């Protein structure tokens, strides 16, 4: 946590040190349910074709935070849901996410994810594409078993929009003149849509009124945008290598994210030429990443991107205001803070 | 049609030349419905992301026979269905198939399909993976719009099994000691499962009794296996280049199909060593494909594979026996013959 980090919003009497926001309160609240989801994940990735659970197990075990299924579990808790449907649907949400990751790593030609070899690096692109298809199908089998056309529609719609977002990202890659609006559309599609669906489903299984569904959908969508903005900042943060995410991945792939867009627009002709060379033409040499980071520091674009993330985080918190101030709401608010503060 | 081809089963008084089985009677019967499916395909592949309809349109326009959606349309007609649900569901079936083709071509690193550049050859593997995901999601959106959990279950289950079959195929590739049973499991999963689901859905939308569903499922499954066996034979048939399918694709990829399995098992030590070299190690030089074809001729493995296809075709026809001998049944019987005879 750097010296300049703002005090977390929820903490801090004058005589205690500001406490950094944490995932732990939320994890504690949903621990029992998440254990059931983890069991369901392992159970439903089984197949007589041994390579499938091997490869799926590799990425499932790779230590994701299970943020998306946790959203479903936590929002179900927030609205007082008493049944079991959230378990299978949270599992479906995680399978959709995992399928997307497998296909992403093929598309990005990534060798590392969270500091570990990617599935495509171990088993090849072909197996990753096909096991992704398998997990995607399994997600729909889980939804069918749940038996609600409403949740099927929510997640089928989300899946189509995620795929559109991934294609949008492919198109904006290596195009440093991508507009900020186009970038926001990419991350709303590819990331925020599943956050929104996952959060909304908590209200759907509990058969809550439409306006509660809509508030949780808004919560998830804004959280998702904030989360992705922070992710895109972290990819240029020299101190983040220890997170397991190799810093500079987006740069090396020529992905156009907000820190790049802002630096490009703030740059002079020479700087613009630099961005065209390294991002559009991918002609990169030693020191280019560091120069990119220096330009971002000069124009304060990481900070500006985080400010944007904070705006979305604020909107996410605002959507929770309507709910009674239970431990679930407090934990979800802290989740919002956590998603932004992890950049400090 | 070679001189040695058997007379088509359905034809031929003594004084007329044997007529080769054709798709035309079936195409004529479902023409109006298929026109509606083609419109639905174009309508539902639209997206604000222009690359998606461009790429999807390329493969959709590439001239597939629409066999799978035709199965749904024809079996719906066979059981006297009067509604509209078969249109959307046949479209969903075709989208699942198209998504599979897009991912297949990435997995196989194919440059040509039906004599045209593959989507991955034109737009890259990345776009093909993602547009495949999009079409797969669209398929589920169409099923959700149809509103039946039963058809959703049939096609979600089929999708998972297709993915398993594709992974099985990946595992058997470059392993010439693959058993015949393992090969049959591959093609039952990757090909016959969707034929079975497509044929079954005709009875499902018409709310016909379970045994009719089961008969149509059996019809589709056996037809699918026969179809794939013939496909695998055609890949070694020197006269088939004009079909647009590049002869020798399977060979160059080291795919292990029945003609190879039978030739390997019938071969002496020198021949076995040849198969290990060209299939397992993919060490191929000029003349190897021709030598493979010569070994298949020596051991009559193309003929033996077609005999196997004929057995499955017979089972497919048998499953239709129970239905009244309408024009729909006759056209479906001729479809079975067509699927086998196209190898002559």
Please write the tens of the pLDDT for every residue from A283-331: 999 999 999 999 999 999 999 999 999 999 999 999 999 999 999 999 9
> In this predicted structure, what is the pLDDT of residue A242?
60
Confidence of residue B114 (pLDDT cuts 50, 70, 90): low
Residues A64 and A105: their CA atoms lie apart, in Å, by 15
With an 8 Å Cβ cutoff, the interface of chain B facing chain A consists of: 47-49, 51-52, 99-100, 103, 106-107, 125-127, 129-131, 133-134, 136-138, 140-141, 143-144, 147, 149, 152-153, 156-157, 159-160, 162-164, 166-168, 170-171
What would the two tokens of residue B292 be? 């493979």
Show residues of chain B in contact with A194, CB under 8 Å: none
**Average pLDDT, whole number, for chain A?**
91
Torsion of CA B25, B28, B29, B31, to 10 degrees: 150
The CA-CA-CA angle for residues A184, A190, A191, to 5°, reads: 85
How far apart are the two ends of chain A, measured CA to CA in Å? 5
The percentage of chain A sitting over the pLDDT mark of 70, rounded to a whole number, equals: 90
- Spatial CB neighbours of A232, under 8 Å, sequence gap ≥ 6: A187, A250, A257, A258, A259, A305
Across the interface, of B49, B156, B167, the residue whose CB is closest to A130 is B167
What secondary structure, in 3-state letters, does B269-317 show? Answer: HHHHHHHHHHHHCCCCCCCHHHHHHHHHHHCCHHHHHHHHHHHHHHHHH
The CA-CA-CA angle for residues B240, B245, B247, to 5°, reads: 60
With an 8 Å Cβ cutoff, the interface of chain A facing chain B consists of: 47-49, 51-52, 99-100, 103, 106-107, 125-127, 129-131, 133-134, 136-138, 140-141, 143-144, 147, 149, 152-153, 156-157, 159-160, 162-164, 166-168, 170-171
Element (H, E) at A113: strand A112-113
For B113, list phi and psi in degrees, rounded to 5: -140, 125
Question: For the residues of A17-69, what is the DSSP string, one character each?
Answer: PPPPP-SHHHHHHTHHHHHHHHHHHHHHT--SSTHHHHHHHHHHTT----HHH
> In this predicted structure, what is the pLDDT of residue B63?
66
Please write the tens of the pLDDT for every residue from B120-134: 878 888 899 999 999
- Residue in chain B lying closest to A186 (CA): B49
Confidence of residue B4 (pLDDT cuts 50, 70, 90): very low
CA distances, B231 to each of A105, A283, B2, B257 (Å): 32, 45, 17, 10
The ipTM, to two decimals, is: 0.91
Work out the minimum CA distance from B178 to partner chain A, whole angstroms.
Answer: 14
* A141·B160 Cβ contact <8 A: yes
User: Would you call B112 helix, strand, or coil by DSSP?
Assistant: strand
- Spatial CB neighbours of A314, under 8 Å, sequence gap ≥ 6: none
Residues B165 and B190: their CA atoms lie apart, in Å, by 4
Among 3.90.650.10, 1.20.1370.20, 1.10.600.10, 3.30.300.30, what is the CATH number of B24-341? 1.10.600.10
Q: What is the average per-residue pLDDT within B284-313? A: 96
Please write the tens of the pLDDT for every residue from A175-204: 999 999 999 999 999 999 999 999 999 999
Q: What is the average per-residue pLDDT within B230-257? A: 84
CA-based nearest residue to A137, from B164, B149, B108: B164
In the A/B pair of chains, how many CB contacts fall below 8 A?
Answer: 130
Does the pLDDT value for residue B7 go beyond 80? no
**Average pLDDT, whole number, for chain B?**
91
Q: Which of B170, B174, B175, B182 to mutate to test the interface with A (most CBs of A within 10 A)?
A: B170
Does the pLDDT value for residue B320 go beyond 50? yes
Show residues of chain A in contact with B105, CB under 8 Å: none
Q: Which of B163, B168, B178, B190 to mutate to test the interface with A (most CBs of A within 10 A)?
A: B163
Element (H, E) at B47: none
Does the pLDDT value for residue A8 go beyond 50? no
* B134·A164 Cβ contact <8 A: yes
Question: For the residues of B217-264, what is the DSSP string, one character each?
Answer: HHHHHHHHHHHHHHHHHHTT-GGGGGGTSPTTHHHHHT---HHHHHHH
User: Would you call B116 helix, strand, or coil by DSSP?
Assistant: strand
Q: List, in sequence order, every residue forming a beta bridge with B117; answer none if it has no partner.
A: B112
Q: List, in sequence order, every residue forming a beta bridge with B113; answer none if it has no partner.
A: B116
* A127·B167 Cβ contact <8 A: yes
More confident residue, A342 or B148: B148
Residues B287 and B293: their CA atoms lie apart, in Å, by 10
pTM: 0.92
What would the two tokens of residue A31 be? 């621990």
Does the pLDDT value for residue B135 go beyond 90? yes
Does the pLDDT value for residue B344 go beyond 90? no
Work out the minimum CA distance from A27 to partner chain B, whole angstroms.
Answer: 31
Q: What is the average per-residue pLDDT within A5-24? A: 56
| E-assigned strand segments in chain B | 112-113, 116-117
What would the two tokens of residue A14 be? 């004058």
> In this predicted structure, what is the pLDDT of residue B17?
52
Show residues of chain A in contact with B52, CB under 8 Å: 164, 167
* B141·A147 Cβ contact <8 A: no
Show residues of chain B in contact with A131, CB under 8 Å: 163, 167
CA distances, A256 to each of A169, A267, A268, A273, B51 (Å): 8, 15, 18, 15, 18
* B164·A48 Cβ contact <8 A: yes
Contact A271, A263 (CB under 8 A): yes
- What is the maximum span of chain B, computed from C-alpha positions, in angstroms? 61
* A51·B171 Cβ contact <8 A: yes
- Spatial CB neighbours of A56, under 8 Å, sequence gap ≥ 6: A45, A98, A131, A134, A135
CA-based nearest residue to B129, from A191, A192, A171, A104: A104
Please write the tens of the pLDDT for every residue from A104-119: 888 777 776 666 777 7
Show residues of chain B in contact with A47, CB under 8 Å: 164, 167
Confidence of residue A281 (pLDDT cuts 50, 70, 90): very high
Please write the tens of the pLDDT for every residue from A204-225: 999 999 999 999 999 999 999 9
């Amino acid at each position: 946590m750097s010296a300049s980090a703002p005090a977390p919003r929820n903490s801090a009497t004058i005589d205690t040190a500001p406490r950094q926001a944490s995932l732990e309160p939320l994890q504690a609240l949903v621990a029992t349910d998440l254990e059931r989801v983890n069991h369901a994940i392992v159970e439903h990735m089984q197949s007589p074709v041994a390579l499938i659970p091997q490869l799926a197990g590799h990425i499932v075990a790779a230590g994701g935070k299970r943020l998306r299924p946790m959203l479903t579990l936590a929002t179900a808790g927030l609205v007082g849901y008493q049944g079991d449907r959230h378990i299978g649907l949270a599992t479906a949400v995680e399978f959709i996410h995992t399928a997307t990751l497998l296909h992403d790593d093929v598309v990005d030609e990534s060798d590392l994810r969270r500091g570990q070899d990617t599935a495509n690096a171990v088993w090849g692109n072909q197996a990753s594409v096909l096991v992704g298809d398998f997990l995607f199908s399994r997600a729909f089998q889980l939804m069918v078993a749940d038996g609600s056309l409403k949740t099927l529609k929510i997640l089928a719609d989300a899946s189509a929009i995620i795929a559109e977002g991934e294609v949008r990202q492919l198109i904006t890659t290596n195009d440093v003149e991508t507009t900020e609006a186009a970038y926001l559309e990419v991350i709303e599609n590819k990331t925020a849509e599943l956050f929104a669906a996952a959060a909304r489903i908590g209200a759907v299984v509990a058969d809550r009124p439409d306006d509660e569904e809509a508030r949780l959908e808004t919560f998830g969508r804004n959280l998702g945008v904030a989360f992705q903005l922070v992710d895109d900042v972290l990819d240029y943060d020299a101190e983040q290598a220890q997170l397991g995410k190799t810093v500079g991945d987006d740069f090396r792939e020529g992905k156009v994210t907000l820190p790049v867009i802002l630096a490009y627009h703030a740059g002079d002709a020479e700087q613009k030429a630099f961005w065209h060379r390294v991002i559009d033409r991918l002609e990169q040499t030693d020191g280019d990443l560091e120069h990119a980071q220096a330009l971002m520091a000069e124009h304060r674009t990481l900070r500006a991107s985080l400010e944007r993330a904070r705006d979305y985080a604020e909107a996410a918190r605002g959507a929770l205001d309507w709910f009674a101030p239970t431990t679930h709401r407090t934990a979800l608010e802290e989740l919002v803070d956590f998603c932004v503060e992890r950049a400090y």
